[in-house]
């Protein structure tokens, strides 16, 4: 597909890399000649120096022949305007990144009036992910499928849970659970395990289970299953606002530490049920006086990644139920792998995943397309939700007879609202939703699960 991408910041660069890896023809636009030169040297893309709102620039990028137009600059208004111009100049599918809370209440109107197909708000998506983690603190990451009927939950195997030393086929017998172990990461790499796989202490595992049954399984492991009762948030920016609003709606007590006095006043108006504290959130003494040791959970949302990481370490030593930190710089991902932090949220990854998911779905609109896409275990594993629209090589055949690609697992089939954890005799039928976990990158259609 022909893709035009406006904005070559961290998100734009990551998107360009992912889309070119998947075989798309990508043209990037940015006002910075240095950024265009750098990305053109690193990736197989066409670079244009210019303004994404300029008709001349868009025509130079061949917007009239583009299939997808994506705008992820730092300006909401520029993103919306450039998408509108792209739609007027061609027939492309337009995607805009919009972050201001002011626009979040008007998205349906904006999409309808401007002809924009998809609007992604990274701050809102990050806040929703953090909220899910605080409401299910046993997990270090939670991804939802099938309208939240099914969840992928990541956690670490630790001493005392009773999992270490067990083979996966023994787990269901010991704990009476239908949780399916989809992927495991350890020092030697990431694997899609079979029933003979032996769990070890320290393994980072991702399981799939029905949403309503997750608590029962984690309760048997001796892990917390109830939502936190209180949260202390450092950083009252956009994510902090969205998060606090969501937590208050779930009857969780919220305190926000913010250094900007005017922002404190604004938050007090917007969130009358929250406690707003004016002070330096990086001052450990201040945090202690603010009641950090007595709170259930801590969330670090400053604009400086290093501060967030150090604050998370400090809070983690106090034995809180849950500690979450936000990290913006994607290059810190590898550095954080071995660090003992409950949960790390990357807003920029959320944007990339959402947009790549939309582009893949467009490639096969009439067929069995990707409905949901998540990258798990440091982006080395993809979890995909497919809509099965019609008959194909994968339908009507017992799973045991399908010749599947290696390092791939069919984790769940949703049929008529019912969740099925499949076995060898089960079959995929038209109308099903199928969840697949694989080490392969770039799968676009359910038929891609078959070995050639």
Domain-located, residue 131:
no
Domain-located, residue 108:
yes
Domain-located, residue 177:
no
Residues 247 and 305 in one domain: yes
Q: In which domain, by residue range, is 246 found?
A: 230-345
Residue-level pLDDT, tens digit, the chain, 452 residues: 899 999 999 899 989 999 999 889 999 999 999 999 999 999 999 999 999 999 999 999 999 999 999 999 999 999 999 999 999 888 899 999 998 888 877 878 888 888 888 899 989 999 999 999 999 999 999 998 888 889 999 999 998 899 999 999 999 889 888 889 999 998 888 999 998 999 999 999 999 998 888 899 999 999 988 999 999 999 999 999 999 999 999 999 999 999 999 999 999 999 999 999 999 999 999 999 999 999 999 999 999 999 999 999 999 999 899 999 999 886 666 666 666 788 999 888 888 888 988 888 777 554 547 888 888 877 789 999 998 988 889 999 999 999 999 999 999 999 998 999 898 899 999 999 999 999 998 888 888 999 87
Residues 356 and 329 in one domain: no
Domain-located, residue 162:
no
> CATH number, domain at 361?
3.30.70.1450
Residues 338 and 418 in one domain: no
Residues 317 and 373 in one domain: no
Total domains in the chain come to: 3
Residues 377 and 282 in one domain: no
Last residue of a domain, one of 100, 120, 140: 120
> CATH number, domain at 78?
3.40.50.720
Residues 321 and 373 in one domain: no
Closest CA to 104 of 246, 233, 224: 246
Domain-located, residue 216:
no
Residues 330 and 369 in one domain: no
Domain-located, residue 249:
yes
* Predicted TM-score (pTM) of this structure: 0.86
Last residue of a domain, one of 120, 153, 187: 120
3-state secondary structure string across the chain: CEEEEECCCHHHHHHHHHHHHCCCEEEEEECCHHHHHHHHHHCCCEEEECCCCCHHHHHHCCHHHCCEEEECCCCHHHHHHHHHHHHHHCCCEEEEECCCHHHHCCHHHHHHHHCCCEEECHHHHHHHHHHHHHHCCCCCEEEEECCCCEEEEEEECCCCCCCCCCEHHHHHHHHCCCCEEEEEEECCEEECCCCCCECCCCCEEEEEEEHHHHHHHHHHCCCCCCCCCEEEEECCCHHHHHHHHHHHHCCCEEEEEECCHHHHHHHHHHCCCCEEEECCCCCHHHHHHCCHHHCCEEEECCCCHHHHHHHHHHHHCCCCCEEEEECCCHHHHHHHCCCCCCEEECHHHHHHHHHHHHHHHHHCCCCCEEEEEEEECCCCEEEEEEECCCCCCCECCCHHHCCECCCEEEEEEEECCEEECCCCCCCECCCCEEEEEECCCCCCEHHHHECC
Domain-located, residue 51:
yes
Last residue of a domain, one of 306, 327, 345: 345
Domain-located, residue 209:
no
pLDDT (0 to 100) of residue 362: 79
Residues 335 and 367 in one domain: no
């Amino acid at each position: 597909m022909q893709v035009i991408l406006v904005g070559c910041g961290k998100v734009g660069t990551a998107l360009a890399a992912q889309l070119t890896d998947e075989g798309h023809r990508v043209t990037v636009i940015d006002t910075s000649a240095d950024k265009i030169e750098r990305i053109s040297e690193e990736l197989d893309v066409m670079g244009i120096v210019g303004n994404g709102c300029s008709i001349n620039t868009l025509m130079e990028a061949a917007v009239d022949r583009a299939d997808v137009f994506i705008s992820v600059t730092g300006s909401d208004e520029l993103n919306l305007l450039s998408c509108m111009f792209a739609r007027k100049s061609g027939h492309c599918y337009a995607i805009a990144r919009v972050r201001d809370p002011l626009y979040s209440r008007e998205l349906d109107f904006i999409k309808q009036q401007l002809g924009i197909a998809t609007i992604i708000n990274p701050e809102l998506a990050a806040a929703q992910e953090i909220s899910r983690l605080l409401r299910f603190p046993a997990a270090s990451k939670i991804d939802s499928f099938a309208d939240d009927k099914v969840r992928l939950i990541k956690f670490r195997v630790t001493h005392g849970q009773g999992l270490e030393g067990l083979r996966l086929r023994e787990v269901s017998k010991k704990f009476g659970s239908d949780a399916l172990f989809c992927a495991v990461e350890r020092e030697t790499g990431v694997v899609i395990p079979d029933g003979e796989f032996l769990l070890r202490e320290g393994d980072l595992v991702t399981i799939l289970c029905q949403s309503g049954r997750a608590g029962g399984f984690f309760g048997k492991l001796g892990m917390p299953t109830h939502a936190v009762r209180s949260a202390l948030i450092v950083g009252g920016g956009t994510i902090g606002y969205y998060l606090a609003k969501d937590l208050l709606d779930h009857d969780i007590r919220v305190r926000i530490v913010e250094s900007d006095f005017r922002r404190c006043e604004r938050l007090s108006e917007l969130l009358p049920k929250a406690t707003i504290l004016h002070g330096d959130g990086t001052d450990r003494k201040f945090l202690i006086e603010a009641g950090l040791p007595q709170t259930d959970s801590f969330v670090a949302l400053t604009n400086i990644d290093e501060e967030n990481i150090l604050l998370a370490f400090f809070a983690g030593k106090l034995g809180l139920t849950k500690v979450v930190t936000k990290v913006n710089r994607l290059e810190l991902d590898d550095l954080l792998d071995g660090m003992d932090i409950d949960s790390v949220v990357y807003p920029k990854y959320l944007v990339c995943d959402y947009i790549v998911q939309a582009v893949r779905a467009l490639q096969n609109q009439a067929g069995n397309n990707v409905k949901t896409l998540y990258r798990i275990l440091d982006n080395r594993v993809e979890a995909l939700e497919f809509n099965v629209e019609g008959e194909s090589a994968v339908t009507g055949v017992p799973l045991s007879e399908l010749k599947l690609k290696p390092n791939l697992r069919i984790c769940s089939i949703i049929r008529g609202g019912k969740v099925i954890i499949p076995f060898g005799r089960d079959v995929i039928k038209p109308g099903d939703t199928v969840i697949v976990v694989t080490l392969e990158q770039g799968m676009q259609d359910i038929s891609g699960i078959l070995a050639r």
